[in-house]
Amino acid sequence: MSDTLNIENVGKEYEKYSRHFGQWLSDLYAQTVQWAGSLDTYIQAGVLGVCVLIAYTMGWLLRWKFPLFHRAREQFREGSGKWFMARAGRLFSPVLLLVLLSLSVPIADESLKSDPILLEAAARVAWIWLLWVALKAFITHPLVRNIALWLLIPAAILRFFGLLAPTISYLDGIGFTFGEVRISIYIFLKGMLVASFLLWLGRLASTGAERYIRRSKAMTISTRELLIKLFDITLYAVLFLILLNMVGIDLTALAVFSGALGVGLGFGLQKIASNFISGIILLSERSITIGNLLELDNGTCGIMKKLGARASIVETADGKEVMIPNEDFITSRVANLTHSNTRGRIEFSVGVSYESDLEQVKAILDESARAHPECLSEPEPTIFLREFADNSVNFLITFWVGDVEKSGKWGPQSDVMFTIWNRFKEAGIEIPFPQRDIHIRSGLEALRPTPEKAEQKRAAGSDT
């Protein structure tokens, strides 16, 4: 029955654990009755109250005296020294209480007739309090913090009452065997706790390494992004191996699982794998880097803000952040407007009436484009007469700006069009718009008034 739950062993472990727990309750009741009738117990309670009051008061004074310890923690970057200092202020009271109780226990042991059991128990509770405050203060990830609180705090309480070892033995007895790997409730809970802490530490390490690599000016943007991604892959692979080792799972026993995982990647996760590999290709080719102005086949146009492991973020002109799978940059046509340089060409059409002086119009259009501060002199603006349309003579204006990432296209185009409008008004040049003349060829006779129609209208009025 290696692959099924051993019900007989579970029953034996439960019976053994129940006997141990019952004996512990009986001993606790007897000791409580003995403590309640002793004067030393009330002396210890008084000492404990004084220690708690001093710890709370001193902790509050220290945080009030040093503003760094009680400043809003959101003001500082996570993982920085000031961030740790701001969160460490919450540990003052628990640490002071532990110090005071540690000093009080040996003094009470020499002064009292009985053992200072109450002070020793209070010291253990203070340790649990310190653990609770530290987890709440320094672990910011909600999932990791909740797992730690729900597993470590009960484990500390069980250890305080001497029930941790039998509880572990009982939980370890409930499990099943998968191949050569045995999985029990204890191993599962231990793995969940260790995994949550390793992921939290990995997140901190990844964030710190990312900031360090991004600050390096000796490497190009693509090289920095590639190093960040390779560091993340290596980091989490090492953390996964550490997790298996700490949980106690033999790596050689995972051959079947590795094969199943490979099949799953081949069928179910092929899109994720494709996007991940596409991101590596983009970074190694350097065809797209952070800060490039991109235009996709679907009409999305914006600046590349982040090259992620699965998807990249493109910020459009209206402030939207669009997440685009990395595979789309490989399999579809993408226009990189700033791949080799940041110059950009702007073009738009203008129509004038047939009565206008076309040479004057061309001169005004050229001067309006050159007057813009972002317009480059090389290549110089060009004006083309494109067509004689139904209602207007149409010109095409093209000019180049030096940094399309900074100024964009719409801003310079709008400025030049305003200038053209004002210059046309000064020169009396008209921008035509379609006009239609309606000629009614029949039906007017029925609308014209006649004496007979007027007589009929008067008769109808007199009848009413």
| pLDDT value, residue 303 | 84
> CB-based contacts of 61: which residues, under 8 Å, 6+ apart?
none
Handedness of CA 251, 252, 253, 258 (dihedral sign): positive
| pLDDT value, residue 186 | 80
| pLDDT value, residue 366 | 92
Q: Predicted confidence band at 345 (pLDDT cuts at 50, 70, 90)?
A: confident
The residue behind tokens 């009292």 is: 112
Where do you find CATH 3.30.70.100 in the chain?
A: 344-427
pTM of structure: 0.48
User: Among 403, 396, 393, which residue's Cα sits nearest to residue 431?
Assistant: 393
Handedness of CA 89, 90, 93, 94 (dihedral sign): negative
For range 273-278, the mean pLDDT = 79
| pLDDT value, residue 4 | 45
**CATH number attached to the domain at 289-336:** 2.30.30.60
Q: Predicted confidence band at 448 (pLDDT cuts at 50, 70, 90)?
A: low
Other beta carbons within 10 angstroms of residue 225's beta carbon come to: 23
Condensed to tens digits (0 to 9), the pLDDT of residues 197-240 reads: 888 888 888 888 888 887 877 676 767 777 887 888 888 888 88
Residue 325 above 80 pLDDT?
yes
Residue 9 above 60 pLDDT?
no
Residue 386 above 60 pLDDT?
yes
Task: Output 283 or 359, whichever has higher pLDDT.
Answer: 359
Condensed to tens digits (0 to 9), the pLDDT of residues 184-208 reads: 788 888 888 888 888 888 888 888 8
Residue 8 above 60 pLDDT?
no
> CB-based contacts of 214: which residues, under 8 Å, 6+ apart?
224, 228
For range 119-126, the mean pLDDT = 84
Rg (CA), the chain: 40
Condensed to tens digits (0 to 9), the pLDDT of residues 239-251 reads: 888 887 777 666 6
For range 343-347, the mean pLDDT = 85
CATH class of 344-427: alpha beta
| pLDDT value, residue 98 | 86
Residue 353 above 60 pLDDT?
yes
For range 84-109, the mean pLDDT = 82
Where do you find CATH 2.30.30.60 in the chain?
A: 289-336
Copy the structure tokens of residue 75: 């003001």
Q: Please count the residues of the chain.
A: 464
For range 393-417, the mean pLDDT = 86
Handedness of CA 251, 257, 262, 264 (dihedral sign): negative
DSSP, res 281: H
Condensed to tens digits (0 to 9), the pLDDT of residues 143-185 reads: 778 887 888 888 888 887 777 777 777 777 777 776 666 777 8
Q: Predicted confidence band at 12 (pLDDT cuts at 50, 70, 90)?
A: low
Cα separation, 188 vs 190, whole angstroms: 5
- Read off the amino acid at residue 130: L
Q: Predicted confidence band at 399 (pLDDT cuts at 50, 70, 90)?
A: very high
Q: Predicted confidence band at 358 (pLDDT cuts at 50, 70, 90)?
A: very high
Copy the structure tokens of residue 449: 């008034």
| pLDDT value, residue 418 | 94
| pLDDT value, residue 161 | 72
| pLDDT value, residue 28 | 61
> CB-based contacts of 202: which residues, under 8 Å, 6+ apart?
235, 236, 239
